[in-house]
């Protein structure tokens, strides 16, 4: 008999839909419902499941019978995901995690609650992830890295060995961090940015986007 509790997902957007797919496709979890704050409930169902106001969850899906996963992105520099995880924990819910079987990792990996680790992440030995950490697909997390609570790493980020990333940071697609540097809390590292030294709390790094050429593609001699 399967003793794993069914799951309720907080959220009803694209990330929640993906969480439904990942948890049920290869996470071994049954998703029973979605939940949102009452003011944001606009329909009785989402993706074929009921949507329950969060303030009614204790009655309809009590924590002794259901686990919960908060499928919220990096809004407000990850503060929103943190707030919803804390609210769910205060109500007594165990926060589930998803770790893709298509990620490359080692038995010593440590991660907190509400982790969301997608396919093709390469996580080397001696890595520690806090609670609420999202690793979108295709990142490289080097040895002896520590990523604190509520961080969100978009795809194809390279975090070299010995790096410490403070809580609530966001790292955009293709960002690169050299080895043995420390990011402070709530830093934002934009897509394609390269960090070579430590960063203070709430630092923002934006790479320069590629500008279009002055001629149209129809005038190119070769391609």
pLDDT in tens, 193-217: 999 999 999 999 999 888 998 999 9
Q: What is the pLDDT of residue 1?
A: 39
pLDDT of residue 158: 98
How many residues are recorded in the chain?
223
Give pLDDT < 50 ranges for the chain.
Answer: 1
What spatial distance separates the first Cα and last Cα of the chain, rounded to whole Å?
60
Domain ranges of the chain: 7-90, 97-203
Stretch (H or E) spanning 19: helix 14-26
- The 8 Å CB, 24+ separation contacts for 127-131 are 130/167, 131/85, 131/95
Of the candidates 141, 166, 136, 173, the one whose C-alpha atom is nearest the C-alpha of residue 151 is: 166
What's the pLDDT at 208?
A: 87
Q: How far is CA 92 from CA 86, 108, 150, in A?
A: 10, 28, 19
CA–CA distance, 206 with 192 (Å, rounded to integer): 8
Per-residue confidence (pLDDT) for residue 2, from 0 to 100 = 52
Tokens of 135: 């690793």
Please state the CATH superfamily assignment of the domain spanning residues 97-203 in this structure. Answer: Hexapeptide repeat proteins (2.160.10.10)
Among residues 97, 90, 98, 126, the alpha carbon closest in space to that of 110 is found at 126
CA–CA dist 159, 180 (Å, integer): 10
For the domain 7-90, what is the CATH code?
3.40.50.20
Radius of gyration of the chain (CA): 19
């Amino acid at each position: 008999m399967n003793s794993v509790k069914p799951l309720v997902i907080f959220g009803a957007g694209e990330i929640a839909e993906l969480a439904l797919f990942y948890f049920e496709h290869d996470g071994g979890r049954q998703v029973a419902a979605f939940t949102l704050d009452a003011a944001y409930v606009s329909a009785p169902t989402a993706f074929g499941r009921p949507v329950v106001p969060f303030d009614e969850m204790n009655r309809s899906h009590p924590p002794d019978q259901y686990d919960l996963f908060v499928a919220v992105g990096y809004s407000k520099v990850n503060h929103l995901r943190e707030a919803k995880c804390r609210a769910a924990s205060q109500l007594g819910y165990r926060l589930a995690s998803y770790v893709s079987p298509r990620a490359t990792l080692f038995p010593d990996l440590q991660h907190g609650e509400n982790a969301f680790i997608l396919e093709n992440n390469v996580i080397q030995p001696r890595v520690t992830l806090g609670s609420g950490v999202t690793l979108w697909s295709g990142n490289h997390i080097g040895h002896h890295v520590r990523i604190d609570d509520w961080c969100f790493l978009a795809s194809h980020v390279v975090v070299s060995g010995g790096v410490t990333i403070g809580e609530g940071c966001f790292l955009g697609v293709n960002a690169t961090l050299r080895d043995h540097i420390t990011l402070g809390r709530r830093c934002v590292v934009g897509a394609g940015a390269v960090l070579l030294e430590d960063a203070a709390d709430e630092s923002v790094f934006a790479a320069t986007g590629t500008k279009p050429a002055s001629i149209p593609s129809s005038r190119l001699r070769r391609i």
